[in-house]
Structure formats: C-alpha cells, structure tokens
Amino acid sequence: MVEQLFGSKTRVKLLRLFYSNPNRSFYVREITRKIDEQINSVRRELANLLSIGIITSDTSNNKVFYEVNQKYEFYVPLEEIFGDVKPRKKSTKAEKAKETEDVAVETDDEKEGLRSLGNVDIACLLGQFTRDEASGIDLMIVGSVNQNAVARYVSDLEKQEGKDLRYTVFSLDEFTYRVQINDRFILNVLRSKMQVLVDKPGLLKK
C-alpha cells in the first residue's frame, strides 16, 4: 500500500533507508546493495528525491554521497512514516505485535547485531559512516558487553561495509565519568556528526 501511495517500490526502500539512518551518508553502489534494487532504478529515484529536496548529495573521493535532508519542510512527517520513531497514539496488543514485527524486519543489521553483545547502553556510528573524522573512530559502544562478541560484530560489520573500522568500548560508568570531567576524546565524539543506534541514558542528545 505504501508503494502504491508513493509510486515506486524502490523509492519507498530509499526513504526507509535514509529516514532510518539520519546523519549517515551512502554512495550509489552501497545503496543498491542495501536495498537490493537495480542500479538504474536507484539512480532514477535518487534524482527524483534530490529534485524534491528530500535528500542532499555531496562528492568526496570521487564518489557521490547521499543523505536525508533534515531541513526539508516535511522531514518530521516523513520520519514518522519511514524512520525508527515510536507511534504517538496508544496501540492495541495486536497493533503492538505488528509494530514489533515491522521494526524487526526493517531494522538495520547494525542495530540487530547489537542484541548479541550484552547490555548495550549506547552505540553510535561515526567517522567513515558520517564522513566526519573529528572523533577519530567509526563505532562506539558503551555498556556491559562481551569483548569477543564485540570483535565478531565489528568483523561482520567490516565485511558488510567493505572497509576496516575503528571502534572503542566503554563501560557506562567510565563513559559517564569521562563526560563529567570533559574528557577531550569524549568531547570530540559528542561534537561529531553521528548516527545514534542506541542511547538508553540519553547522553547523546544534542
């Protein structure tokens, strides 16, 4: 039904990808792989979304990167439709079950894999994912997690993304302490452009 409303299955997949990953940039072949659609169809729909203003583009290292335009006038209502936002209305048990099922289907692999690590309080993508190198890392995980599981998770993510990733892991107590003392590394992280995957304590809100 959503495809009929928006006129194209590829367009709907693109909107879900962009609105579920704010602050993250993607290049064409990466997008094609993630949404499993033909490159010509992807290029055509990207051009449509660019012309409307829903996404923006930028060239870096001879690649054109695309990301959602958070200044677009209808960003909020589109985010409610396509992004990882909770519904505002109260739901019945059946509706909640359906919502959970939908989220499980549409959630990024990065988020899905975090469940196997232990108790993850904070997780975010930075650096290569957002094309902002101020933090010096690509992934930060905070919580009580299994280090071996984290190593496997990062290895799988590297294979999926096709690049080496820099990551760091903190306990919540250590991360909170570093925030309180204005640790230089943590300040750089907090000032960086990031895609927040998990933020239970709300420490990454800007």
pLDDT score at 138: 95
Domain final residue, candidates 70, 103, 136:
103
**Contacts (Cβ under 8 Å, ≥6 apart) of 7:** none
pLDDT score at 8: 83
154 in Cβ contact with 48 (< 8 Å): no
Task: Look up the domain containing 137 and give its range.
Answer: 109-199
What's the whole-number mean pLDDT along residues 21-32?
Answer: 92
Are both 98 and 118 inside the same structural domain? no
52 occurs within a structural domain: yes
Beta strands 139-145; 167-170: pairing state: parallel
What's the whole-number mean pLDDT along residues 163-189?
Answer: 95
| pTM score over 0.95 | no
Instruction: Identify which has the larger pLDDT, 86 or 136.
Output: 136
Average pLDDT value over all residues in the chain? 84
Alpha helix (H) ranges present in 7-108? 9-19, 28-35, 39-52, 75-82, 93-106
Q: What are 56's two structure tokens?
A: 């923006």
Are both 128 and 97 inside the same structural domain? no
Are both 55 and 69 inside the same structural domain? yes
Q: How many domains does the chain have?
A: 2
Residue 168, pLDDT above cutoff 90: yes
